[in-house]
Structure 1
Amino acid sequence: MSSFEGSFLGATDKISPAAIMECKICWTPYDPAHGDDYRQIEPGTPFLALPRDWSCPTCSAPKEQFMVLEDPGATTAIEADAIDAMTARLVVDFREIWHAKMRDLPMINKMLSVEAVAFQMVEGRPIGVLISPWFMNLIVLPGKGEDWSDLTAGAKEIISFPSGDYEFLHNVREMTGGYKACSLFSPMNDFKTHASAVDVAQAIMIALFDKANLAETDRSEDIRAAREAELAQPDEAEVELVSEPTRRDLITGGLAEGA
């Protein structure tokens, strides 16, 4: 598709699927929520997905003559780009550890690989789960303008979520810089496939923000058993969790440090 003459210096990747475009010749808007009845374009069709020969229904100006009028999805797209850039560095850091130091150790689950899962912006900071062949950690990365390069490796910090308070350890890596990690699983030998580990990581991110997991008393076994049963459907053999959780305990079990 040709570039836009008046939008982000022609950078179409800066335009989100929700962008409302406007013809700069006759000011006719194209709203993806409404589509284009004249050309039988269905509602929900992003501007960038319009046919190559689509033109302004009022003055027949080509798509290249449209500019961004409003883009409600731009913030989301910018955040997604920022998360992708930061998690890419995190993955590179731990793949380097995997290849240089960990590959031949007996605690390694060679069915797994390094992957950042379900990262999202929470109060301006990327939060998600990092899977590796030897651990699964909840990770908090610095927000825009924050410099965590001076974190003391091994220092502890309690961070609160709707499901409770969790203990994180500080660390600094060459590519990633400073970050904070909460241990969920280690070692990872009970995961039979990488897909099953990803499923658990995604479930953890849901449970983390579920206030129902905030227990007034220690009810970890009940909640953990229920979560295991849920994740095991329809094939119980698909996901096997470790039998003994770490002290920082599993979010899937609803435990928080000090809960």
Structure 2
Amino acid sequence: MLEAPATIDEQLLEQKRAQVVSVFNTINTERMNDIPILNHKLSVSLIGLQEWNNNYLGILVTPWFMNIIMLPNQADEWSDIPELSSEKYVFPSGNYKFLMGFEPDIGKYQTCSLFSPMFEFADNQAAIETAQAAITELMNDENIETTDIDSEQIQRIWEGEELLPEGIRDGELTNDGTTPKTALSEEAEPVATVSLEERMHEPISRRKLLRGAFLNKNEVK
């Protein structure tokens, strides 16, 4: 049985996905080759690319980071926004701050950091499954938090320089402001402060991915 041809929108998404993957593959081989933060078990992927708020949104996986990435629908749409500037976006799960970047072959793009470095991931499939879970949970209003999380804050949490926001750390908040028995989907537990080296050898919990609370001992399933 012949498959139905892709719609124009699907074709545009695939072209955009291939373009971004190509650019970051080039960065991987030409700029990052000798950088010690690479997880060589991983490859470049753009997961869950979709149209959102008149832009393109997905999860970019590379050997050195996993970011939420947003690209404009029109090539010149962000031409007046300077590189490294930040902008906050409201998703069903909360508010996220993105940083503006630029690459000649894709133009302006914005990212919000989820993971860097990527040594937590045992193989490429684990990274892809986590990215798939992330894009789903990003749009899940059951995960909404009253605190804002941005790229820089997630990085500080990851490096042990900042604690998780109180409502996430102690399981005090739900989307209706009550004290829950569960946080996101499972019973909330306080997150112990551990060293970066210890965190790099711990599996990642999907349920705490988007809020930086990935010090949990649960495995990605």
Fold match by TM threshold 0.5: yes
Q: What's 1:58 paired with? A: none
Superposition map of 1:1-259 within 5 A:
48=2, 77-144=7-74, 146-216=76-146, 218-221=166-169, 223=183, 226=186, 240-241=203-204, 250-251=209-210
Gaps of at least 5 residues in structure 2 are 148-165, 172-182, 188-201, 214-221
Q: What is the alpha-carbon distance in structure 1 between the residues aligned to residue 119 and residue 58 of structure 2?
A: 21
CA deviation after TM superposition for structure 1 residue 199, in Å: 0.6
CA deviation after TM superposition for structure 1 residue 123, in Å: 2.6
TM-score, normalization by structure 1: 0.57
Q: What is the alpha-carbon distance in structure 1 between the residues aligned to residue 142 and residue 66 of structure 2?
A: 23
% identity of equivalent residues = 32
Q: What is the alpha-carbon distance in structure 1 between the residues aligned to residue 74 and residue 37 of structure 2?
A: 36
CA deviation after TM superposition for structure 1 residue 220, in Å: 2.8
Amino acid at match of 1:251: L
What is the alpha-carbon root mean square deviation over aligned residues?
3.0
When structure 1 is superposed on structure 2, of 214-223 and 101-110 the one drifting more is 214-223
TM-score, normalization by structure 2: 0.67
Q: What is the alpha-carbon distance in structure 1 between the residues aligned to residue 84 and residue 186 of structure 2?
A: 33
Q: What is the alpha-carbon distance in structure 2 between the residues aligned to residue 220 and residue 250 of structure 1?
A: 12
Q: Is the 8 A contact 2:49 2:57 kept in 1?
A: yes
Gaps of at least 5 residues in structure 1 are 1-44, 50-72, 228-238, 243-248, 255-259
The total of aligned residue pairs comes to 168
Q: What is the alpha-carbon distance in structure 2 between the residues aligned to residue 149 and residue 87 of structure 1?
A: 21
Q: Structure 1 runs of 4+ off > 6 angstroms?
A: none
Q: Is the 8 A contact 2:142 2:184 kept in 1?
A: no
